[in-house]
Chain A
Amino acid sequence: MSMASRDEVRAKMAESLQHPVKKLQDDAILTDWVTDSMILVNMVIDLQEDFGIRLVQEDLKDVKTVGQLLAVFERKMSG
């Protein structure tokens, strides 16, 4: 995935969470940005629909930060 598409995913993430994209730095903790975990579930589904990939629970097991989630998408999109 190129730099541009990593930022594309980040932008989509910001849109889904309704947060300014500049606050979604790589080290930002995902759960800090949501009031309930359903919003996080929705964001992950939203991204999959947009980028046409599919994740399984295993992929998300160790994901805590924005950067880690971006890395998962990076891996899936290049694979």
Chain B
Amino acid sequence: MVNKLTENELWILSFYRTSEISGALFFGRLARSMKPGLIQRDMTKHFSDESQHAWYWTSCVQRFGTLPLKLSHAYQDKYLEAAGMPANLMEVLAITQTFEKRVIAQYALHSRVPDLKPEILETFNKIMEDEKWHIEWVGEALKRMEPEYGKSYIQDTLKRYWKADKKIYGEVLKEHEDRVKDLLRYRQRTA
């Protein structure tokens, strides 16, 4: 018999999938706009990774004999609302850095939940390696931008996005409290 996902599990895996798709679409469009260079190369790989992740979540859900839910994709919009629209490439990379760190933290938290279904854990493990590289390349690109943008402008931008990220994450958790309460309970216990 096929192991079944709970309603909350299906929702959260669908949320991850939607978020990976939004990321892929964003980086895909950006990659298309980039002039030849390292950022162009890394952004194309980033786009390809996020697309792959969306597929991993889709096939993970399918292994439980069902399909992902169609969810609203307003999360990224909320982000921009809280942090202000990034106005240049450095700001785009700064918001990316913030967002990627949030994703890693969320995936790490979820992957430590006791009795996690092995198919889900396997998917986290597959994705995590890529996510670490995302933070790495963006960090390096931001470093290379220091002469052009100035170190303090970059640091201030990162700080601004961190603040916005905290606020949005808190709001999203609150909004979907019922869906993620098992995760939250675990977070409080281990904090």
B-binding residues in A (CB < 8 A): 16, 36-42, 44-46, 48-49, 54-57, 59-60
Contacts and interface: CB of A to CB of B under 8 A. Distances in A.
Contacts of B116: none
Given A36-B76, A38-B22, A57-B91, A45 B85 contact: no
A38 B95 CA distance: 12
Classify the interface of chain B: helix, strand, loop or mixed. helix
Interface residues of B, number: 21
Classify the interface of chain A: helix, strand, loop or mixed. helix
Interface of B: 22, 25-26, 29-30, 33-35, 73, 76-77, 80-81, 84-89, 91-92
Contacts of A16: 33
B87 A37 contact: no
B187 to A, nearest CB: 29
Which of B26, B33, B73, B77 lies at the interface centre, i.e. has the most chain A CB atoms within 10 A of its CB?
Answer: B33
A32 to B, nearest CB: 15
Contacts of A44: 85, 87
